[in-house]
Amino acid sequence: MADRMRSSDVRAVARAIYGTILATALVAALSAYEGMGAWQILVSMVVTMVVFWVAHVYAEVLSQRLSAGRGLTWPEVRHAFRSELPMVAAAVPAALALLGSAVGLYSRDTGTWIAVGIGVAALFGYGLLLAYRERATVPRTLLTVLVNGSFGLVIVALKAFVH
C-alpha cells in the first residue's frame, strides 16, 4: 500500500508527540514560577529539551550496541542523533511563542498560554494525522484525536489549577 507510513516515519511521529507533550508540560510548569521571566522560561525549556534529546540518543545508542553486540560507527551514532531530532524539533513552535514574549511583543503570560495552546493544537493535529493515515472510521478518528489531545488538555488544566 503506497499510503502506508514507513516505520521510520511512524517513529518520527511518536517522537514528535513525545516532544510536544514534554515541551508543553515544561512551559506550563515553568510558568507557575512568577519570578521567572520569558527569557528564563525559554532558555530553561530549550536546555531541558536538548538534555532529553541527548538522553534519548544515548539510550538508543546503548540499545543498538546491545542489539549489535559491538560498538557503533560514527555514521550510526549520527543517525541516532538525526532519528531522535523530531522530539526536540517539536519544541520549536513553543520556543517561538516564548521568544515573542521575551522580546516584548506580548506579555510573559500571553506567551506561555500561546506556547501551551500551540502544543495542545499540535497534539490534536497529530491524532488527526494518525487517524487519517490509518483510514480510521469516524468514531475511531474522534477517539484517536481525543485521546491524543487529552494529554494537552490535562496540561492546560494543571496550568490553570496552579495559577
Please report the pLDDT score of residue 160 as a whole number: 79
- Is a pLDDT exceeding 90 seen at residue 10? no
- Is a pLDDT exceeding 50 seen at residue 1? no
* Domain assignment present for 2: no
Please report the pLDDT score of residue 2 as a whole number: 42
Please report the pLDDT score of residue 72 as a whole number: 85
Please report the pLDDT score of residue 3 as a whole number: 56
* Domain assignment present for 1: no
* Domain assignment present for 70: yes
Q: What's the total number of domains in the chain?
A: 1
* In the block, residue with C-alpha cell 543517525: 79
Which of 13-17, 69-73, 158-162 shows the highest mean pLDDT? 13-17
Please report the pLDDT score of residue 109 as a whole number: 95
* Domain assignment present for 163: no
* Domain assignment present for 145: yes
Mean pLDDT value across residues 42-60: 96
Q: What domain range is 89 assigned to?
A: 7-157
Mean pLDDT value across residues 101-122: 97
**HSE of 107, CA atoms in CB hemisphere, 13 A:** 5
* Domain assignment present for 73: yes
Mean pLDDT value across residues 106-118: 96
Mean pLDDT value across residues 84-91: 96
Give the C-alpha distances (Å, rounded to integers) separating 40 from 28, 95, 107, 151.
13, 11, 14, 25
Average pLDDT, the chain: 91
Please report the pLDDT score of residue 158 as a whole number: 83
* Domain assignment present for 143: yes
Mean pLDDT value across residues 146-156: 90
- Cβ contacts of 160 within 8 Å, gap of 6 or more: none
Give the C-alpha distances (Å, rounded to integers) separating 88 from 80, 135, 160.
13, 28, 25
* Domain assignment present for 47: yes
**pTM to 2 decimals?**
0.88
